[in-house]
Structure 1
Amino acid sequence: MVSGMRRASLEVLRAEARDELQTVILERCRHGEDPWEFMSELPTIDELVVYILRADAITANGGAMPNPTREYRVLRQIALDHPPLTRTVWSLIGRLAA
């Protein structure tokens, strides 16, 4: 696993991400924003899970932001550790390369 800190299953991580996204949506709606205008800006649940796992890996590495090579390795390891996230990880890697 990318970091020993994340002991939760993928299902639990997805549930946490879903809760977080629902909170963001609720807060933005409370501030008068139209969901039709901002929903496409929000990450998917799996993207948010990858971001959470990436943040854990950065924390485990002393908080140092990764250089591009390390970033690739961290994301690739997430895909190896969590095969259902592979498509999402490679999509994010593709965005980094662009």
Structure 2
Amino acid sequence: MSESVPRRASLEVLRAEATDELAVLIQERLRSGEDPWDFMEDLPSVDELVVYLLRAENITANDGVRPNAARHYRVLRQIALEYPELTGTVWHMLGEQRHRRWDPTIADAF
């Protein structure tokens, strides 16, 4: 079984999609009355959204099975290899302290 999902789009297209998604997230939270000072730093960056989109595609290609910690590491590392411009983001995501509610590696903790 390959950890890699066939490359589906250029990084520019993926970033454009992620930018649109981030705008929707911001709009929804603003419309619900949330103060942007309270939530903006908790939102993922555009490149983080791209990495999570690619990770989600990998999970879908693996029959929806969520990866364990070792596979999560391999999948993110493969994303960095396939999209070198995302390498810094991937390594940051692998090394950061998990504190965001939207982060799939801690979603079960809440």
Answer whether TM exceeds 0.5 for this pair: yes
Structure 2 residue 28 is matched with structure 1 residue 40: no
Q: CA deviation at 1:7?
A: 1.2
Q: Match for residue 27 of structure 2?
A: 26
Q: CA deviation at 1:88?
A: 0.5
> Which residues of structure 2 form unaligned runs of 5+?
99-110
Q: Secondary structure at the match of 2:96?
A: helix
Structure 2 residue 95 is matched with structure 1 residue 94: yes
- Inter-partner Cα distance in structure 2 for 1:75 and 1:96: 16
Structure with a larger share of its residues in helix: 1
The size of the alignment, in residue pairs, is: 96
Q: Match for residue 80 of structure 1?
A: 81
Q: State the Cα deviation string for residues 16-70 of structure 1 (Å, max 9, x = none).
A: 0000000111111111111121100100000000000000111111111111111
- The percentage of counterpart residues that share the same residue type is 64
Change (3 A) 1:58 1:88: same
Q: Match for residue 71 of structure 1?
A: 72
Q: Match for residue 4 of structure 2?
A: 2
Q: CA deviation at 1:96?
A: 6.9
TM-score of the superposed pair, with normalisation by structure 2: 0.81
Runs ≥4 in structure 1, deviation > 3 angstroms?
none
Please tell me the root mean square deviation across aligned C-alpha atoms, in Å.
Answer: 1.7
Work out which structure has the larger RCO, using CA pairs closer than 8 Å and 6 or more positions apart in sequence: 1
Match for 2:89: what amino acid?
A: T
- Inter-partner Cα distance in structure 2 for 1:13 and 1:81: 13
Q: Match for residue 18 of structure 2?
A: 17
- Aligned 8 A contact 1:50 1:89 in 2: yes
